[in-house]
Every structure is written in structure tokens, then in C-alpha cells.
Amino acid sequence: MTDNRSGIEKELLSYLPKKDELTGNLISSMEYSLMAGGKRVRPMLVTEFAKICGGSEEAAMPFACAIEMIHTYSLIHDDLPCMDNDDLRRGKPTNHKVYGEACALLAGSGLLTLAFEAASSEKAVSLNGTEKCLAAVSVLSQAAGAQGMLGGQIIDLESEGKKVTVDHLKTMDAKKTGALIIASAKLGCISAGATRAQTDAAVKYAENIGLAFQIIDDMLDITSSTEELGKPVGSDSENEKSTYAALLGLEECRRISTELTENAVKALEVFENDTSKLRDFAYYLLNREN
């Protein structure tokens, strides 16, 4: 899965402003989290869907970077003391532990803002044209906003310590993590000028792996070790959060996430180009151990 990871990371860095004496700490703080070893799941989805819809990885890259910036911002803010208050992320100290709360707050907002700079950049426009770039801005803002990811985060916050249903969890996750994953698939389709049928299939794939991803995350919180996971194990149950694993048990979670993965892979059938990477990716997510 990692064959274009260094390409994504190189391009991510290219959008960061140069560090000057006065704002250097802010840029360093943004770079710290952007380069903290993420799996680059979302950028990969953007570029892969672009490619199987007849587009190019190069053209899709600015959008791939934009979605990864938004994902990274959400992690920085999520880790803040007033949110999950986490000290570790991917095995490293969280942004606010290194740069302080105020700088971490600004760095998160900086990455959210930079996503829209990337999607409207000269590079993005020269590779995709104005219309596709504006469509990307629209998809990004809706997925990241109050009806998307942020909506999922407020549901998450207000569910804390409450017993909730599986349907409630699904609604929350469809927004909290699903929205950005679906947006990734859509962005690839936008860059490639995909057909409606291709876009629908891409969204279906994304919806299914999105939910599977979250269910597996819950399971890993129980089954994995801190070293493997890169964050404290059991933090969900410590924070009194209802999880799929707690509500359904590990076995049922395994069954559902397998079914979702198979649905995702089935959705790939409409594409004429080689979809093996996206198929392998779905199974990789299912079988990952961190």
C-alpha cells in the first residue's frame, strides 16, 4: 500500500509555508503532525479512485493532500485536553504535548485552512481546471463541516458516558470518520471526471470500508497492545464510550467487518481498470493489527 506514500508526503510538505522567524513554531507544529507517520489511507483512496476512473495520480494529488490535511487537523484538535485529552498519537507525543495547547489549536486550524489553499492552488487548477477544483472545495467543506465530521464529533462528545444503540454509533461514525473517507473516494472521481455510476460505486466502497474501519478500530482498542497500537490501549473503555465491540462482542464485530469488506470489494466490479489495489486495501484494513 505504501508505493506512493513518499510522493504524498513530499507533496504535503510542498504546501506548507516557509518557516520564518516569527511564525516558524506554527509551521513546525503543522509539519510535526502532518509527518507523524499516518497511514495515508485517505490520500491513497483519492489517487486510486482517480486512476481507476481514467484520471491521473498527479492531478489527484492536491485533493489527496487536502483531505489528509483535514484528517490531520481533526486528530490534533481531537487530542486536545478539552476533547479526548490524549498524550500519545501513533506512538509519539501529541501535538499539544510538544507545542502547547494554544499552538496546537492554531496548527489544527492552519491545516484545515491549508486544505482549501491546496484545493484552490495554481497547481490544482492547472492539473484539474477551475470547475473540478471548486467541486473539490465543496466536497471537502461539506464532509468536514457540521453535517459531516464535526457533526460526528459533537455526537461523540454528547454520547460519552451514555448507553447508546448500534444505530446511534453508525450514525455517529458515518459522520465522524465516514464523511472524510467517502469524500476521498469522491475527490478521486472528481479529478478523473468519473461517470455517475463510477462515483456511486466509489461511494459505496467508501461507505463500507469506512464503517469496517471504525469497527476494527474498536476491536483493536481491546485486543491490541499499546506498543502495536501507538496509543494507550483501553482508552475507549476508560472514557466510558459505548463501542461496537462492547455492544456486539468481538465475534459479531469480526463477522460484520468481514461482510462490509466483501460489500466494498463487490462495489469495485463496475470498474474496467485494475482495482486490485483497492481490493487488497480493503482486506488490509480488515486484517491490520494497529
The binding site for a second copy (CB under 8 A) comprises 16-17, 22-23, 25-27, 30, 73, 77, 80-83, 100-103, 105-106, 108-110, 112-114, 116-117, 119-121, 125, 130-131, 133-134, 137-138, 140-142, 144-147, 150-151, 153-155, 157-158, 171-172
Q: How far is CA 103 from CA 88, 95, 97, 161, 242, in A?
A: 17, 8, 10, 30, 31
Residue 144 CA from chain centroid, whole number: 10
Q: Length of the chain, please? A: 290
Least distance from a second copy to the Cβ atom of residue 154, Å: 4
Least distance from a second copy to the Cβ atom of residue 8, Å: 20
**Which of 78/252 has CB closer to a second copy?**
78
Number of CB atoms found within 10 A of residue 268's CB: 18
**Which of 66/216 has CB closer to a second copy?**
66
**Which of 23/287 has CB closer to a second copy?**
23
**Which of 46/179 has CB closer to a second copy?**
179
Number of CB atoms found within 10 A of residue 19's CB: 13
The grid cell for 182 is: 467517502
Least distance from a second copy to the Cβ atom of residue 280, Å: 33
Least distance from a second copy to the Cβ atom of residue 61, Å: 17
Least distance from a second copy to the Cβ atom of residue 261, Å: 27
**Which of 8/34 has CB closer to a second copy?**
34
**Which of 16/98 has CB closer to a second copy?**
16
Cβ pair 89, 231 in contact under 8 A: yes
**Which of 48/156 has CB closer to a second copy?**
156
Least distance from a second copy to the Cβ atom of residue 217, Å: 21
How many Å apart are CA 126 and CA 254, to the nearest integer?
45
Least distance from a second copy to the Cβ atom of residue 188, Å: 18
